Amino acid sequence: MVTMINYEPLGNHIVVEMPNVAKETESGIIKSESMLKEEADKRDGHAKVVAVSQEIENVKVGDIVIPKGQGFMVMIDNVEYFHMNMFDVLGIVKQNGASSITTFPV
């Protein structure tokens, strides 16, 4: 399912949706706000594109990209998204069939 938002970035920008950070551990311990912030700051891996500037030709809504940063957080309809420059995108994940994305901590 492709997420649609009522927002269009300008210039050389896209808006992405990052994977959520779990609010509790697997054993059920609720994480503190500082732990959540630390995990959010370390978020690596993939992001789903939800909006693209008209100037961008090589990325479209629904693509999975690998960003090198997380850009600027924006709230749209009470949902957290990240507005970023295309220069902060390292690549597009080409999905063939039922491939899954695995990220590794650095």
- CA 61 to CA 42: how far, in whole Å? 24
What pTM was estimated for this model as a whole?
Answer: 0.68
> What is the side-by-side order of every strand in the sheet holding 79-85?
72-76, 79-85, 13-17, 47-52, 64-67, 89-93
- CA 80 to CA 96: how far, in whole Å? 28
User: Which 3 state secondary structure label does DSSP give 78?
Assistant: coil
pLDDT tens for 10-34 read: 999 999 987 766 666 778 777 676 6
User: Which 3 state secondary structure label does DSSP give 37?
Assistant: helix
pLDDT tens for 42-89 read: 555 788 999 999 999 999 999 999 888 768 888 888 888 889 999 989
Beta carbons within 8 Å of 99's beta carbon, 6+ residues apart: none
